[in-house]
Chains A and B, each alone.
Chain A
Amino acid sequence: MSLRPELAAIADMIRPGTRVLDVGCGDGELLDHLVRAKGVDGRGIEISQQNVNACVARGLSVVQGDADTDLAEYPGGVFDAVILSQTIQATEKPAKVLTDMLRIGRRVAISLPNFGYWKVRASLLAFGKMPRTRTLDYNWYDTPNIHLCSLADFVDLTQKVGATIVEAHALDVNGNTRRMKPDAVNRGYLGPNLWAPGAIFLLKKN
């Protein structure tokens, strides 16, 4: 079973044999890959009980929990990397979640959808209604994605919480990745903010 390209790109950021926490690990696809293929000491938090049970049945160390409230209880610096895949936009307090993750892990790998993507902008401009895209396919009133942002917004947040982007990849519509220059991104040069539907960043605390 091969990983989706987006998850494979995150997996590439993780060093073998390290200790990793996957926040919002879903059914454990990425975590399972990291444990089996890279020998990481992998742990997960997942909000859906059904997903947690599926993870544990496949032998993963996963607890039922909520990133908004439960990250606070983890001690600082015990994980080499903390992963947050396509989840930050669904948290109640993204800044707090990101701050907690930077405290818990030496590196934070995070993927997110881009609300600055040109199709999103064009849709809002053309129809005057909240856009629906392939990655954000919800009505405004029933979406779990309560804190959407553009890539530029996210880069602003990383600076606000005292983090530096050490690696960056733009995602295309199929989830394939294209490497960005982290220095340029940190300085705000962000072409993909217009053309990429999403991105993956690897952060470290300053």
Chain B
Amino acid sequence: MAAPFKSKAGLLFVDRGARGSKLASTMVEQPRFTRSVTAHEADKGQAITFAEPLPLDCGRSLSPVTVAYITHGTLNAKKSNAILICHALTGDQFVASANPITGKPGWWISLVGPGKPIDTDRFFVICTNVIGGCMGSTGPADIDPATGKPFGLTFPLITIRDMVRAQKMLVDALSIEKLFAVVGGSMGGMQVLQWAASYPESVRACIPIACAARHSAQNIALHEVGRQAIMADPEWKNGEYAIAGTFPSKGLAVARMAAHITYLSEAALQRKFGRNLQNRSSLSFQFTPDFQIESYLHYQGAAFVDRFDANSYLYITRAMDYFDMAEEHGGKLADVFRNSPTRFCIIAFTSDWLFPPAENKHVAHALNAVAGNVSFVVIDSDKGHDAFLLDEPEMYAAVDGFIDSVAREVVIT
């Protein structure tokens, strides 16, 4: 593995006078990635380290804790135009600009950017790497200050609420009292819902896409398959592969391959690949990849291990499994959103079997039950769960119309 990226020149302390006392014990620097940068010209964003501890749902806390993030656009004088984007399981903060590790374009450039439905000419867009991740925010690959060794499995179990708590620390540090909107798909959508539940007064509007208020049994089962694949790889070394100088590439690739199937739909697989053979005219009668779908999955697995940390995958999938918003309200989801001042626009896709429309509708119903202000859109698509990342004009129209209507209620220029 390549040496971690660290820029000493990029280290700077924040001017306390300008930002107030909230940043007194924090510092902003360039993020340290666990993988080497290939696109050196890409915007690497920032990382902010908080000296004060981040309390976690598991009872432990993280201190110090770093949140890596990137911003696009300009925060207005009233600080009323900030939109927080939350990324999915294997996403990162590079939502609208090239990823410095892979060099690939931002993962949501169809939706976020100048002139896009989330218009960076108009809004100040913030995207963070979740804690537990491997793109600069504190995660299991980081060095535990207590031992001087990588955390590995000694890293505390984190939850979606912990991720949101860390994001709130950043939003506070930026002196933003109320976010114009919080937007995200899949696990990003879970964070969006958690924002509305944890900090209702700090969120004017939220757009949870292709998500649910709890992780279903089927989804937990699928995640467990992925985790077991990683743990079964002898190179995983009980999570201490960094110390051993190994990496469970095979296990992580299998986890990714299995998960990737769940992001698509049967119809999309059939349309894209069918039973087409890869670079051959007849079956090989061997176990080498004969079919295009096999080659595609192998490629997805291989590309993934080049950019993602295996332990991060374990921790983040676990955080999703633990997500159940209604649990602490005796199973009554509606109680989570009682008296919520936030406007919601929930978006689901017909062929998404990972977070099906019914799960999304469940959230819409809960909001109806407390007379919440909710829009609920189901978009016809055969692209499966991944549709939220793909070209879906009806999603753009919904986001555009919703954001415009919220913008009519507040001065954002």
Residues of A within 8 A of B (CB): 19, 41, 43, 49, 52-53, 55-65, 70, 73-75, 78-79
Number of interface residues of B (CB under 8 A): 26
The reply to whether A64 and B376 contact each other, CB–CB distance below 8 Å, is yes
User: What's the nearest-Cβ distance from chain B to residue A40, in Å?
Assistant: 12
Contact residues in A for B345 (Cβ distance below 8 Å)? 56
Show 16 residue pairs from A and B whose CB-CB distance is below 8 angstroms, ordered by the A residue: A19-B371, A41-B373, A52-B377, A53-B379, A53-B397, A56-B377, A57-B397, A58-B401, A58-B405, A60-B375, A63-B375, A63-B376, A64-B364, A65-B376, A73-B368, A79-B371
Contact residues in B for A57 (Cβ distance below 8 Å)? 394, 397-398, 400-401
* Residues 370-403 of B at the A interface (beta carbon under 8 Å): 370-371, 373-380, 394, 397-398, 400-402
* Residues 312-356 of B at the A interface (beta carbon under 8 Å): 343, 345
Give per-residue flags for B350-367: 1 if the beta carbon is below 8 A from chain A beta carbons, else 0: 000000000001001100
Among A60, A61, A73, A79, residue most surrounded by chain B Cβ atoms (within 10 Å): A61
**Given known contacts A56-B345, A56-B398, A75-B370, A64 and B378 CB-to-CB distance under 8 angstroms:** yes
Among B345, B375, B400, residue most surrounded by chain A Cβ atoms (within 10 Å): B375
Docked Cα-Cα span, A59 to B375, in Å, equals: 9
Partner of A53, one of B365, B374, B398: B398
**Given known contacts A52-B376, A53-B397, A60 and B368 CB-to-CB distance under 8 angstroms:** no
Count of A-B contacts with CB under 8 A?
71
Contact residues in B for A52 (Cβ distance below 8 Å)? 375-378
The reply to whether B378 and A61 contact each other, CB–CB distance below 8 Å, is no
Other contacts beyond A57-B401, A59-B408, A74-B368: 5, CB < 8 A: A56-B401, A59-B402, A73-B365, A74-B371, A75-B369
* Residues 143-198 of B at the A interface (beta carbon under 8 Å): none
Identity of the chain B residue whose Cβ is nearest the Cβ of A36 in the assembled complex: B408
Identity of the chain B residue whose Cβ is nearest the Cβ of A63 in the assembled complex: B376
Taking the complex as formed, is B121 at the interface, i.e. its CB lies under 8 A from any CB of chain A?
A: no
Docked Cα-Cα span, A59 to B378, in Å, equals: 15
The reply to whether B398 and A63 contact each other, CB–CB distance below 8 Å, is no
Identity of the chain A residue whose Cβ is nearest the Cβ of B406 in the assembled complex: A59
User: What's the nearest-Cβ distance from chain A to residue B338, in Å?
Assistant: 10
The reply to whether B401 and A63 contact each other, CB–CB distance below 8 Å, is no
Identity of the chain B residue whose Cβ is nearest the Cβ of A52 in the assembled complex: B377
Among A43, A59, A62, A65, residue most surrounded by chain B Cβ atoms (within 10 Å): A59
Identity of the chain A residue whose Cβ is nearest the Cβ of B373 in the assembled complex: A61
**Given known contacts A43-B373, A70-B365, A74-B369, A60 and B378 CB-to-CB distance under 8 angstroms:** no
The reply to whether B378 and A49 contact each other, CB–CB distance below 8 Å, is yes
Identity of the chain B residue whose Cβ is nearest the Cβ of A35 in the assembled complex: B405
Taking the complex as formed, is B57 at the interface, i.e. its CB lies under 8 A from any CB of chain A?
A: no
Contact residues in B for A58 (Cβ distance below 8 Å)? 401, 405
Partner of B377, one of A59, A64, A70: A64
Identity of the chain B residue whose Cβ is nearest the Cβ of A73 in the assembled complex: B369
Among B343, B400, B401, residue most surrounded by chain A Cβ atoms (within 10 Å): B401
Contact residues in A for B397 (Cβ distance below 8 Å)? 53, 56-57
Identity of the chain A residue whose Cβ is nearest the Cβ of B364 in the assembled complex: A63
Docked Cα-Cα span, A79 to B371, in Å, equals: 8
Contact residues in B for A43 (Cβ distance below 8 Å)? 373-374
Identity of the chain B residue whose Cβ is nearest the Cβ of A41 in the assembled complex: B373
User: What's the nearest-Cβ distance from chain B to residue A37, in Å?
Assistant: 14
Taking the complex as formed, is B15 at the interface, i.e. its CB lies under 8 A from any CB of chain A?
A: no
**Given known contacts A49-B380, A63-B364, A73-B365, A56 and B375 CB-to-CB distance under 8 angstroms:** yes
Contact residues in B for A55 (Cβ distance below 8 Å)? 375
Contact residues in B for A63 (Cβ distance below 8 Å)? 364, 368, 374-376
Taking the complex as formed, is B404 at the interface, i.e. its CB lies under 8 A from any CB of chain A?
A: yes
Contact residues in A for B394 (Cβ distance below 8 Å)? 53, 57
* Residues 288-325 of B at the A interface (beta carbon under 8 Å): none
Contact residues in A for B370 (Cβ distance below 8 Å)? 75
Docked Cα-Cα span, A70 to B380, in Å, equals: 21
Contact residues in A for B379 (Cβ distance below 8 Å)? 53
Identity of the chain A residue whose Cβ is nearest the Cβ of B347 in the assembled complex: A56
User: What's the nearest-Cβ distance from chain A to residue B142, in Å?
Assistant: 41
**Given known contacts A49-B380, A64-B378, A70-B365, A75 and B401 CB-to-CB distance under 8 angstroms:** no
Contact residues in B for A59 (Cβ distance below 8 Å)? 401-402, 404-405, 408
User: What's the nearest-Cβ distance from chain B to residue A83, in Å?
Assistant: 16
Docked Cα-Cα span, A54 to B404, in Å, equals: 14
Give per-residue flags for B18-35: 1 if the beta carbon is below 8 A from chain A beta carbons, else 0: 000000000000000000
Docked Cα-Cα span, A78 to B375, in Å, equals: 17
**Given known contacts A56-B402, A57-B398, A57-B401, A62 and B375 CB-to-CB distance under 8 angstroms:** yes
Identity of the chain A residue whose Cβ is nearest the Cβ of B369 in the assembled complex: A73
Contact residues in A for B364 (Cβ distance below 8 Å)? 63-65
The reply to whether A75 and B371 contact each other, CB–CB distance below 8 Å, is yes
Contact residues in B for A19 (Cβ distance below 8 Å)? 371
Partner of B343, one of A61, A62, A64, A70: A61
